[in-house]
């Protein structure tokens, strides 16, 4: 099964296959590749029933996505299906409602085949912090798939599903997309509803699609985007037909080359892959423009004050009283709180809660949190100045290819630096994507494209034109 969402939609429309047939095939593939540990929850009966319902929808004139199988990151609430966030704290939690993204995708006719594995509460860059074990990279099972949406990325790369949802707080769609050789899009903050998305850092989290190609992501984004009155951060703006925006020529396109992103610290072979990708854009008529994001060097420390602070607040609700895990033995209420949180959260989540609580505490709020907010504004201003000179920004999605499982578990700072090129985008609320641009040592290299606020249509077209001229996105891992 190497079909894209676009091709599956064409085959379904032409009657060459049914959604039920595709779902049956994918369920068998997921079992055959269970060693990747890409999924946490499966409901085969519900998936087959959903496929049959989608086939009826298609016969009645359903839309492009009617009958297309997808997977949801296990951070989205799904009515009647476990939503664990990769944590012991929510290992048995079954929501009574659907997240807006799930609701919208179902309304479009998408068929959910399962919930994908993820770093615990989306905190991680390798998908090794999950209570349910690490996900393995289809290109090399001894390497990480990236995080926190590593299960979704691995599932798409292994062709277990043609598309999946993810969330991106500091690069959690783009970095795993880069490591797994697929396309992943983080939309502008507010473009996609966060209702029913279990919160990590509310001012940074954004849901988005992962798929083989930019064209596939365009179809998925069209379904999931839009205003939601249940989400106070949701934008009440029109949603373009992203697929209809594809195919425009790139003559005169100004691509900003961020000098800080092509500096020391990135593997030289990765930079050469990216330079060759940029030469393809020049062949299509684009012009390269040098730009600078001088405050981007401070993005990681800024992020690791703001994101843990918000996480400290959001995760305070997990106390063993309302829902989720509760310690089995305790002396009194306070002891129950302590033991529940100590036993229910993993080391990385506890680390970030402690950092965030410290940053928000009396005497340190102004010294750390307020200063980080000011720096966030400066980072956003850098992007605004850069876009005065160019239309999109281009650079690496990660300073390295996928690293070995366990290689960075004892060095949290080294792990955090994997997101050095993706974090600034979240701080500024901009749209960005990662797409395959080549290989180094048999492992995929992702190129990051960053666009102006709410300009996902243009960003997707720029990626699409590259993918029309190359086949990196169509490469399949050996054995898949």
Give the CATH number of the domain where residue 57 resides. Answer: 3.90.1300.10
Q: Is residue 9 part of a domain?
A: yes
- Name the catalytic one among 125, 130, 152, 172: 172
* Cα gap 205→190, rounded to integer Å: 9
**Would residue 408 show up in a list of annotated catalytic residues for this protein?**
no
Give me the domain span that covers residue 440. 5-251+431-474
DSSP-derived letter for residue 189 is: T
**Would residue 434 show up in a list of annotated catalytic residues for this protein?**
no
Distance of CA 303 to the CA centre of its chain: 17
Which pLDDT does position 264 carry in this prediction? 74
**SS3 (DSSP) at 162:** coil
Q: Is residue 465 part of a domain?
A: yes
Tens-place pLDDT, residues 405-442: 999 999 988 898 889 999 999 999 999 999 999 999 99
Q: Is residue 81 part of a domain?
A: yes
Helix axes 5-14, 214-224, angle to 10 degrees: 70
Q: Quick one: average pLDDT of 302-328? A: 96
**SS3 (DSSP) at 374:** helix
- pLDDT bin (cut points 50, 70, 90) of residue 458 is very high
- Name the catalytic one among 19, 125, 130, 148: 148
DSSP-derived letter for residue 74 is: T
Which pLDDT does position 417 carry in this prediction? 87
Which pLDDT does position 61 carry in this prediction? 87
Q: Is residue 310 part of a domain?
A: no
Which pLDDT does position 75 carry in this prediction? 98
Q: Is residue 79 part of a domain?
A: yes
- pTM, to two decimals: 0.97
Q: Is residue 334 part of a domain?
A: no
Q: Quick one: average pLDDT of 36-56? A: 96
Q: Is residue 106 part of a domain?
A: yes
- pLDDT bin (cut points 50, 70, 90) of residue 286 is very high
Per the structure, how many domains does the chain have? 1
Q: Is residue 141 part of a domain?
A: yes
The answer on pLDDT for 1 being more than 80 is: no
In 3D space, the residue among 313, 376, 355, 452 whose CA is nearest the CA of residue 170 turns out to be 376
For 322, counting Cβ atoms within 10 Å of its Cβ (0-12 exposed, 13-18 middle, 19+ buried), the class is exposed
Which tokens go with 453?
């606020």
Tens-place pLDDT, residues 340-355: 999 999 999 999 999 9
Which pLDDT does position 253 carry in this prediction? 98
Residue 123 dihedral angles phi and psi, to the nearest 5°: -105, 95
Tens-place pLDDT, residues 58-70: 999 889 999 999 9
Q: What is the helix (H) or strand (E) element at residue 120, kind and residue range?
A: none
Mean model confidence pLDDT for the chain: 96
* Cα gap 184→173, rounded to integer Å: 6
- Name the catalytic one among 18, 73, 104, 186: 73
- pLDDT bin (cut points 50, 70, 90) of residue 362 is confident
């Amino acid at each position: 099964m190497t079909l894209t969402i676009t091709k599956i939609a064409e085959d379904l429309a032409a009657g060459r296959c049914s959604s039920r047939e595709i779902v049956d095939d994918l369920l068998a593939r997921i079992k055959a590749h269970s060693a990747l540990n890409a999924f946490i929850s499966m409901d085969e009966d519900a998936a087959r029933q959903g496929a049959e319902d989608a086939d009826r929808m298609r016969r009645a004139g359903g839309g492009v996505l009617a009958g297309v199988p997808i997977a949801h990151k296990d951070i989205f609430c799904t009515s009647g299906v476990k939503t664990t966030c990769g944590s012991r704290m929510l290992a048995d939690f079954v929501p009574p409602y659907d997240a807006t993204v799930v609701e919208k995708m179902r309304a479009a006719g998408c068929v959910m085949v399962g919930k994908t594995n993820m770093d615990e509460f989306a905190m991680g860059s390798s998908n090794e912090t999950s209570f349910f074990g690490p996900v393995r990279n289809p290109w090399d099972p001894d390497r990480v798939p990236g995080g926190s949406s590593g299960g979704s990325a691995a599932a798409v790369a292994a062709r277990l599903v043609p598309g999946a949802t993810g969330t991106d707080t500091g690069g959690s769609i783009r970095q795993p997309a880069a490591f797994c050789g697929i396309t992943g899009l983080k939309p502008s903050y507010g473009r996609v509803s966060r209702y029913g998305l279990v919160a990590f850092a509310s001012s940074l989290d954004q849901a988005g699609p992962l798929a083989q190609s930019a064209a596939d992501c365009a179809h998925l984004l069209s379904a999931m985007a839009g205003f939601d009155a249940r989400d106070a951060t949701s934008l009440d703006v029109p949603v373009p037909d992203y697929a209809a925006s594809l195919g425009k020529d790139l003559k005169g396109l100004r691509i900003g080359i961020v000098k800080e992103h092509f500096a020391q610290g990135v593997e030289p072979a990765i930079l050469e892959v990216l330079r060759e990708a940029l030469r393809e854009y020049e062949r299509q008529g684009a012009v390269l423009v040098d730009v600078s994001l001088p405050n981007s060097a401070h993005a990681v420390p800024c992020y690791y004050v703001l994101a843990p602070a918000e996480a400290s607040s959001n995760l305070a609700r997990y106390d063993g009283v309302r829902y989720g895990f509760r310690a089995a033995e305790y002396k009194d209420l306070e002891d129950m709180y302590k033991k529940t949180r100590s036993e229910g959260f993993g080391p990385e989540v506890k680390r970030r809660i402690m950092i965030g609580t410290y940053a928000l505490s009396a005497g340190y709020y102004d010294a750390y949190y307020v200063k980080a907010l000011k720096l966030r504004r400066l980072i956003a201003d850098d992007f605004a100045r850069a876009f005065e000179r160019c239309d999109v920004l281009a650079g690496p999605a990660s300073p390295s290819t996928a690293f070995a499982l366990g290689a960075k578990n004892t060095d949290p700072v080294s792990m955090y630096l994997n997101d050095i090129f993706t974090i600034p985008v979240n701080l500024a609320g901009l749209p960005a994507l990662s797409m395959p641009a080549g290989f180094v040592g048999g492992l995929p290299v992702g190129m990051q494209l960053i666009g102006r606020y709410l300009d996902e249509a243009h960003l997707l077209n720029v990626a699409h034109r590259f993918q029309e001229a190359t086949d990196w996105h169509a490469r399949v891992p050996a054995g898949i």
